Amino acid sequence: MVEKRNMIVGGILAAAVTVFMLVGLFYTPYDPEAMDLSMKFAPASLAHPFGCDQFGRDVLSRALQGSGVTFLVAAGTLCIGGGLGTLLGLFTGYFGGWPDEMIMRFNDLIVAFPSILLALIFISLLGPGKYNVILALGIVFIPSFARIVRSQVIVHKDMDYVKSARLMGVGHLRILFVHILPNIRRTLFSALAIGFNNAALSEAGMSYLGIGVQPPDASIGRMMSETQAYMFTAPWSVLFPGLAMILMVLGFGLLSDGWSA
């Protein structure tokens, strides 16, 4: 019962945040870069619901645009990391043998490594920027997905429904994608929701450090590092973007818990 309630709350939160992010990709009430010094540190009002920052820029518009970029990065990361990771997990788990053993050893090695460091290596080689962040995080996220999917496939491949499908002469690929994959969807969705959070948080962290998304792309992480110094004079310029981030993590986290329960 509690799980169900959590999942509904999580689903609503996650949906609301996703809408917020998607809107940010296409529409902002003001130009996020437009400076207006008369509005410097203006507190929240009807015209500027989140207030204004040290250059008089509208915080809501910047947060919208920044979360749009965050969404793009997180979705791109999941496509690369989740997609390749799932494929890798499906094949290694199903076929086993020495490729499985080798890839999993390599996986163990990477999992023991702080993931943001790994992403930073890629960034230091590729240079910062939105697409490089997607590529770096995508590659870094492959092992965790591969590991989760593989462990599920190993459980399912010895179940009766797979055995009978094989007896009926169904091909390996069809068994993998039509029989096993839909049956491990809960675990996969749960991993994707957590992965979305982790990707968004990593992007925010990297942008906060100044080596993630670069201007002119807005980013919640960079907004925070810019406005952090004015935390006391204009708390809204830091708190509102931070709150948006917290709601996102909370929503997707609850959703993930609900799916894995």
Partner 1 sequence: MKYLIKKICTLIITLLVISLLSFLAFQVIPGDAALSRLGTGATEQKRESLRREMGLDRPMLERYGSWLKGFLKGDMGESYTYSVPVSGLIREKLPITLAITGMAFVWMLAVSIPLGLLAGKFAGRLPDRILTVLNQLVMSVPGFFMGILITCLFGLALHWFTPGGYVSYQEGWRPFLGYLFFPSVSIALPKCAMGVKLLRSSVIGELNQDYVRTAYSRGNSQTQALFGHVLKNSLLPVLTFWALAIADIVASSVILEQVFTIPGLGTLLVQSISNRDYPVVQAVIVLVAGLTVAINFLVDVLYGVIDPRVNLR
Q: Which residues bind partner 1 (CB under 8 A)?
A: 109, 111-117, 120-121, 123-125, 201, 204-205, 208-211, 221, 224-225, 228, 231-232, 235, 238, 242, 245-247, 249-250, 253-254
| DSSP letter string, 166-195 | HHTT--HHHIIIIIIHHHTHHHHHHHHHHH
Nearer to partner 1, 106 or 161 (CB): 106
Return the SS3 of 212: coil
Check if the beta carbon of residue 259 is closer than 8 Å to that of residue 251.
no
Nearer to partner 1, 68 or 157 (CB): 68
The whole-angstrom separation of Cα 239 and Cα 260 is: 31
Nearer to partner 1, 6 or 183 (CB): 6
Q: Is the peptide bond before 216 cis (omega within 30 degrees of 0)?
A: yes
By the 10 Å C-beta count (0-12 exposed, 13-18 middle, 19+ buried), 169 is classed as exposed
The whole-angstrom separation of Cα 49 and Cα 58 is: 9
Nearer to partner 1, 30 or 81 (CB): 81
Which residue in 33, 8, 144 sits closest to 88, CA to CA? 144
Token look-up 């793009």 returns 72
Nearer to partner 1, 105 or 169 (CB): 105
The whole-angstrom separation of Cα 140 and Cα 24 is: 26
Which residue in 68, 92, 82, 91 sits closest to 137, CA to CA? 82
Smallest separation, CB 27 to partner 1 (Å):
25
Smallest separation, CB 224 to partner 1 (Å):
6
Nearer to partner 1, 89 or 253 (CB): 253
Half-sphere exposure of 94 (CA within 13 A, CB side): 20
Which residue in 16, 19, 80, 74 sits closest to 213, CA to CA? 74
Half-sphere exposure of 26 (CA within 13 A, CB side): 4
- DSSP-assigned beta bridge partners for residue 140: none
